[in-house]
Amino acid sequence: MTINSKSREREVQKINLILDQGVVSRASDSLLVMAFLFSIYGIMSTEIITKFDSSVTIWSNSWPRILFNGLPFALLALYFKKKSINLNFKAILWAILQPLIFTIACCIHVWPLMIAGNLEIYYYFHAANMFVITFGLTFVAPSRSIMIAHVSSYTILFLIPLLYITRIDKSLMSMIINDYICMTIGACVAGHLTYKLRRKVAIMDAQIKSKVTPLVGEAVVSAIYNNNLEILNNRKAFGLILSMDLRGYTQFLQLNPKEISSAFMKEYHFMVSSTVGKYGGFTHKTAGDSHLISFGLMDESVDLSDIPGIQNEIIEAEMRKAGHLVERSIKMFEELIEKYEKLIARYDISDNLRIGAALASGLIEIQIQGDENYHQEVNIVGDTIVRSVRLEAYTKFLMNQVAPTCSMLILSPEIIDTFKFSFQLNIRSWIIYNSEQYVRDYPELKNLYYIIWVPAQRQSSKNAS
C-alpha cells in the first residue's frame, strides 16, 4: 500500500469517526429530551386516560412512566457520554433500545385499554407516537445501516403488536399503516439527506485541514477549528529540534550556472519537505539552504492529566513517545541523506556539498506573537532550539576536523544519556580539550556525539585508490 493510499484511508477513518461521534452525541441529546418528555407525559395524558378508566390517577399514571421510560432514557444518555465505549455499539443500542422503551410506554394503560375494547383511545395518542418515531430519525440523522436497524426495531416492537391489537378495526389499521409508512419514509429521507450533508461538510473540513496542516501543524489547525488559540499560547511540550544546513552551498552557487543551482535547490527543498512529512516532522523555517525542523511539538495531543490514578502511566507513555520521536528523526535523516546522494549523482555535482545537522531534545515553549488585528504567528522558543542551532553551526568545524567529504549529524548529549536505540548506529565521540574548540554559548559541552555518512561514490573511489 502506498503512502498516499494510506493517507487517504486515514482521512476516511477520521471522517467516519467524526460522523459517528456526531450521531452518538445527537442520540444522547435526543434521549435526554425523551427522558424529560416521557417523565412529564404522565401528568399530561392522565385526563385523556381517565375518560376510559376513571380509576387512573396522576400518580398511578406518572410513576411507571418515570421509572420505566424517563429513567432508562436518562441512564442510556449518560451511558453514551462514556468515551471508552465503541461508537458503533452505542449507535446500535440507540437503534434498538429507544423503540423498546417507547413500546414500554405504550403498555402503560393505553394498550391494555385498547385490548379491553377501547380502541378509540389510540386516536388521542397517534400524533404523539408519529412525532416520537420521526423525531429520532430526523434529529439524530444516523447512517443508512443504523437507520434501517432503527426502523426495523420500531416495526417489530411497535407497529406489528399495534396492528394485532387493532386488527378488528380495519379503518384504524389502515390509518396507522399509511401514516407510519409515509412519516417513516419522509423522516428517513430527511435524515439521510442531513447525514449526506454532514458527510460533505466533514470531507470539506478534512480537505481544508489537509492543505493547511503542512503549513502550520496539526496542533495549530486543531486550535483554530476549535476556536481556542489560547491553548497554544505559552504551551510547553517535549520535542526534538533538527537544525540542518548545506555545507559548501556558497561555493556551489558560485561554481554552477543559476539554472542548475535553482533546479537542484527546488528538488532539494521538495525532498526535505516530503521526507520530513513522511516521518511526522514539521518544518518551522526555511532560509536558503537552512531548515529548522521539529518532531512531536506540533502534533495534536490528548490531555489525560485530569484522569486520577494514571500519572505514572502518562509519564511512561511520554517517555516511550519521546524515544520513538528520537528514532524517527534519525531514520528520517538517514533516508534524507540517501535521497540526497542520489540527487547529487543525478545532477552530476562534483562540488563538496554536504549536509550538516544537529538534533537536540527538551521542553519547548510555543508562543503566539504579533498583533491580532494585523498579523500573528506561532513561534517556538527555548534552550533546545538554541542548542540545536549552535551544534549545527559546530558541524562546520567538526567536519573539517574528522570528515571533510561527509555529511554529519551531531546528537546533543541529553539524547545519548536518556534514550536507547532499537537499531544499530555508528555513533562517534568528539572530546573538546580547549576553549578554542568550545561550542558557542555552551562551554559546558565537553563531549559531543556524531554520526557521519560517507558518500558511496567517494567511498568507492577511496577504496579503489
Model confidence over 93-140: pLDDT tens digits?
A: 999 999 999 999 999 999 999 999 999 999 999 999 999 999 999 999
User: Residue 99: what residue type?
Assistant: P
- Map grid coordinates 429507544 to a residue: 98
pLDDT for position 118: 95
Q: Categorise residue 440: left if φ over 0, alpha if ψ from -120 to 50, beta otherwise.
A: beta
* Cα–Cα distance for residue pair 298/220, rounded to 1 Å: 7
Residues 263 and 145 in one domain: no
- Pick the last residue of a domain from 214, 239, 270: 214
Specify the DSSP element, H or E, that contains 386: helix 383-402
Per-residue pLDDT tens for 354-403? Answer: 999 999 998 888 877 777 777 767 778 889 999 999 999 999 999 999 98
Residues 314 and 440 in one domain: yes
pLDDT top residue among 6 and 346: 346
Please compute Rg for the chain using Cα positions. Answer: 34
Residues 441 and 335 in one domain: yes
Averaged pLDDT for residues 316-345: 84
Q: Is residue 322 part of a domain?
A: yes
Averaged pLDDT for residues 434-450: 90
Give the side-chain half-sphere CA count within 13 A for 209: 19
β-strand partners of 357? 244, 409
Residues 279 and 354 in one domain: yes
- Pick the last residue of a domain from 214, 241, 263: 214
Lowest model confidence (mean pLDDT) among 100-104, 158-162, 300-304, 413-417: 300-304
Query: Considering its fold, how many domains does the chain have in total?
Result: 2
Residues 32 and 180 in one domain: yes
Residues 118 and 236 in one domain: no
Q: Give the domain extent around 135.
A: 3-214
The answer to whether 244 touches 290, Cβ cutoff 8 Å, is: yes
- Pick the last residue of a domain from 161, 187, 214: 214
* Cα–Cα distance for residue pair 203/209, rounded to 1 Å: 10
Q: Is the dihedral of CA 132, 138, 140, 141 positive or negative?
A: positive
Q: Is residue 223 part of a domain?
A: no
